[in-house]
Amino acid sequence: MTFFFQYFWCMGNVNRRRFMQFGALGASVFFTHGLSSFNKFLPSPEPKNIIRPKCLSPGDNVAVVGLAGALWDLTVVDSFRSTLNALGLNVCFAPSVFQRFGYLAGKDEDRLEDLKQNLYDPEIKAIFFIRGGWGTARLMDKIKWNWFSENPKIIVGFSDITYLLNAITHETGLVTFHGPVGNSGWNNFTVEALKLSLFQVKPLTYKVDVQEKNASFIQKNGKTSGALVGGNLCVFTSMLGSPFFPDCKNKVLFLEETDEEPYSIDRMLTSLRLAGVFNQINGLILGKFSKCSPETPSQSFTLNEVFHLHFKDADFPIMSNAPIGHNRNKWTLPLGVELELDTETSTIRYLYPSVV
């Protein structure tokens, strides 16, 4: 018992708080699983305000909107139409897909109007986006959140769309989907993951391939649960201080990035740490960090070293190298639905369906 109390005192404020929260059950799990893994002992109850959109079916009409950066390669339109048609979906491209206003897909008011019109169109069952880039955050203070709660439908995107996804789920409870956009590259893996997430009314399960797991940046074994928050690291970090930054308490954070030097990744992770995000979350999933090697390796930490500097002493489970982000193989992940993360088996298992 002397050892137990010494360990209890040294385990840190977050662990002590979690341990005391679950009382005798916590003690039982502690002595059963030992010191080498991290566990959140009970799944959190499903949020009362959760809104699930209706699932997709062949023959449904969907819209593609230009919410962020301008599209300069119009061949993407035909290839994206073909991809969605192959899923049995009828596609309507909003005017903003073809507009260019500097680096934006049209003026703010035009992009916003395209989003609103397709939300209120009862024939449209889901909204996709032609690309990321930059521009989504410019619309946040002009959006009326009842547009989404009154017209709950599937919203899919990633990269710059990270801002919209987290804000919608935070403000309304509507489940949103971190998944591919028109120009992000599609293959069988990505298409099948999208179908699994959007066309079937059952809880999802995803597992990282063994080879991918062996290439992980950092791994901390354990089990935990919580709804997802996060997405693109740069965009998610840019939400700090805004009214739309999501509640991270007892959530599972997932992050991905592309074209950023290790020092930039370090800066953004430091911003999240100083904001207290890593003291609140139950677990962490690191996706792909493509093209994030240092330009001058002799004058830099490696990306792997940056992750170890930040998370080597973390008291929550960590899974890395998941197929999330700016890579061809992409999961489509619902935000706002409770899941179980098992980092020893590199599995995420949703506890409830994400669509109805």
- Positions annotated as catalytic residues are 159, 256, 326
Contacts of 154 (CB under 8 A, 6+ apart): 53, 54, 55, 56, 125, 126, 127, 177, 198, 355
Cα distance between residue 259 and residue 275, in whole Å: 24
Label each residue of the chain as H, E or C: CHHHHHHHHHCCHHHHHHHHHCHHHHHHHHHHHCCCCEECCCCCCCCCCCECCCCCCCCCEEEEECCCECCCCCHHHHHHHHHHHHCCCEEEECHHHCCCECCECCCHHHHHHHHHHHHHCCCEEEEEECCCCCCHHHHHHHCCCHHHHHCCCEEEECHHHHHHHHHHHHHHCECEEECCCCCCCCCHHHHHHHHHHHCCCCCCEEECCHHHHHCCCCCECEEEEECEEEEEHHHHHHCCCCCCCCCCCCCEEEEEEECCCHHHHHHHHHHHHHCCHHHHCCEEEEEEEECCCCCCHHHCCCHHHHHHHHHCCCCCCEEECCCCCCCCCCCCEEECCCEEEECCCCEEEECCCCCC
Cα distance between residue 1 and residue 228, in whole Å: 37
